[in-house]
Amino acid sequence: MKKSLLSIAVALTLSANAAHSADLMFTPGEDSRFNWSSYEALKSVKLSGETVSVFGPWMGDEKTNFERVIAYFEEATGAKVNYAGSDSFEQQVVIDAQAGSAPNVSVFPQPGLAADLAAKGFITPLSDTVKNAVAEDYAAGQSWVDLATFKNREGKDDFYGVFYRADLKSLVWYSPDNFADAGYDVPESMEELKALTKQIVADGGTPWCIGLGSGAATGWPATDWVEDLLLRTQPASVYDGWVTNEIKFDDPRIVGAIEEFGWFARNDAYVDGGAGAVSSTDFRDSPKGMFQSPPKCYLHRQASFIPAFFPEGTQLGLDADFFYFPSYESKELGNPVLGAGTLMSITNDSKGARAFIDFIRSPIAHELWMAQTGFLSAHLGANPELYSSDAAKKQVEILRYATTFRFDGPDLMPGKIGAGSFWTGMVDFTGGKDAKEVAADIQKTWDALKECVWGSREFYLGTLFFWLPIEMTSTVM
């Protein structure tokens, strides 16, 4: 009888384990492309009965994809993870932190807000072990460490988070058929890109489609151009000083990057519709000229989201493709990449929270979302063969070979600059206003913010999250 009861108990346990495994999207150990060893290592962490709360901006399909990843942490450790997503995350997480009811882990879509909360003591620093692992395991690892290093309440630097899920902006889109018909090759340096621009004009074509229109957010696509060009004309330290205003907006090096953008955008022969059409052309419509016959343009610089606005039926890799927005070979500044990413930080410390951060920085946590859709990772230990599309594999190759990664500049600036005068200044610049004058006007706005009583860092950094228009939060960020 005892043997019979024991057999039943064992059978029930095996049945329960099988049921849990059946809930997992990919059965552990079956697909050799996954780094299952990092999953098995999780099993040594015993968290049965512990609940980990996670709060972030992901909703809809993104929430579903993330919860499929979380299921593996729960299965391995015995913990329960409650994820909540909100389109008001940036405001709510501040309220929760101040009320003492913050989640264990918060998912920050920009590091600026995390820096603000860290300075107030609302985020728990991570260990040197975690920091060193990120530096070693991520492409351009020190860049990711720097992006998550903020001043603490005492004004000293601490490391506060692990980036999970990256976005890529340093891309140029083109039609392979158009290039083949014209005999053009993909340029591998900025010098070659400029030479190609001139060659297309000499052949009777128009090189670029550029549009800055975006309703109340008109001008933001030009800021991406300026950021990318600054990283290609100056060391990354200049970029870092610029986004904090330690290097002024009207510094000659920043003005030079704006003028570099003007080389492309303010030449009537280089842009579809002429320079005068740049600011009035909607950014969603601007790439469509590449797909007309004959093509109205051959090149379009934009982030990885832009295929959503290509003509219906456009096939990536066939009708449209992309290449890395190249650096200057002569300047020897490496391969900088501009992008964005989500930062995981501990806002309510616990054993489970620290274990969850360790899971997030492991290869398996990245691979499990990579194998779904809508995810790029800078983790060098994650297998790129698991990406669900060839486009994603190609984009992550650019990310992995980056020597420097920098976060979108306006997301690190005060809202009235990064989502205000910088946008309008770029519209003025493409309309013919002198770059020095544009830069000086933006700097005046920044100086006025500093002088304002409400211009403290915690105010003007926080204003960023109230300036972002709805149409951008789902595409650009």
Return the closest-CA partner of residue 25 out of 274, 386, 453, 416: 386
Strand order of the sheet with strand 171-174?
Answer: 300-301, 171-174, 321-324
Rounded-to-integer distance, Cα 287 and Cα 375, Å: 23
DSSP 8-state assignment for residue 320: B
In this structure, are residues 159 and 125 in contact, taking their beta carbons and an 8 Å threshold? yes
d(CA 332, CA 176): 29
Which residues on adjacent β-strands are paired with residue 293? none
Per-residue pLDDT of the chain (477 residues; tens, 9 = 90+): 434 433 433 343 333 343 345 489 999 999 999 999 999 999 999 999 999 999 999 999 999 999 999 999 999 999 999 999 999 998 999 999 999 999 999 999 988 899 989 999 999 999 999 999 999 999 999 999 999 999 999 999 999 999 999 999 999 999 999 999 999 999 999 999 999 999 999 999 999 999 999 999 999 999 999 999 999 999 999 999 999 999 999 999 999 999 999 999 999 999 999 999 999 999 999 999 999 999 999 999 999 999 999 999 999 999 999 999 999 999 999 999 999 999 999 999 999 999 999 999 999 999 999 999 989 999 999 999 999 899 999 999 999 999 999 999 998 898 899 999 999 999 999 999 999 999 999 999 999 998 873 444 444 344 433 333 333 333 343
> d(Cα 211, Cα 221) in Å, to the nearest integer?
7
Q: What DSSP string runs through 56-94?
A: ES--HHHHHHHHHHHHHHHHHH--EEEEEE-TTHHHHHH
Q: What is the pLDDT of residue 198?
A: 98
Q: For residue 294, say if its preceding peptide bond is cis, omega within 30 degrees of 0.
A: yes
The amino acid occupying position 308 is A
First vs last C-alpha separation in the chain:
63
Residues 145 and 131: beta-carbon distance below 8 Å: yes
Contacts of 344 (CB under 8 A, 6+ apart): 105, 106, 107, 108, 161, 162, 163, 164, 356, 357, 360
Handedness of CA 239, 240, 245, 248 (dihedral sign): negative
**Phi, psi of 314, rounded to the nearest 5 degrees:** -65, 125
Query: What pLDDT does 58 receive?
Result: 95
220-233 and 422-430 helices, crossing angle to 10°: 90
Q: Is the distance from CB of 322 to CB of 173 less than 8 angstroms? A: yes
pLDDT tens digits for range 285-308? 999 999 999 999 999 999 999 999
Residue 114: phi and psi, rounded to 5, are: -60, -40
Backbone region of residue 70 per phi and psi (left: phi > 0; alpha: psi in -120 to 50; beta: other values):
alpha
- List, in sequence order, every residue forming a beta bridge with 167; answer none if it has no partner: 340
Task: Kindly give the interhelix angle for 435-451 and 422-430, rounded to the nearest 10 degrees.
Answer: 160
Q: Which of 194, 199, 177, 431 is nearest to 314 (CA)?
A: 177
| Residue 407: count of CB within 10 angstroms of its CB | 26
Question: What CA–CA distances, in Å, run from 83 to 43, 367, 401, 415, 473?
Answer: 21, 19, 33, 28, 20
Q: Which two tokens stand for residue 470?
A: 């709805």
The 10 Å CB-count burial string (b at 16+, else e) for 81-97 is bebebeeebbebbbebb
pLDDT of residue 7: 41
Q: What share of the chain is helix, strand, coil (3-state, %, to 5)?
A: 50, 15, 35
Closest CA to 369 of 23, 26, 80: 26
**Residues pairing with 80 in the sheet:** 51
219 phi-psi bin (left φ>0, alpha ψ -120 to 50, beta other):
left
Q: Which tokens belong to 372?
A: 């779904």
The answer to whether 414 touches 456, Cβ cutoff 8 Å, is no
Residue 457's φ and ψ, nearest 5 degrees, are -55, -40
| Environment class of 348 (CB within 10 Å of its CB; exposed 0-12, middle 13-18, buried 19+) | buried
Q: How many CA atoms lie within 13 A of 308 on its CB side?
A: 11
Q: Decide the pairing of beta strands 336-346 and 105-108.
A: antiparallel
What per-residue confidence (pLDDT) applies to 315? Answer: 95
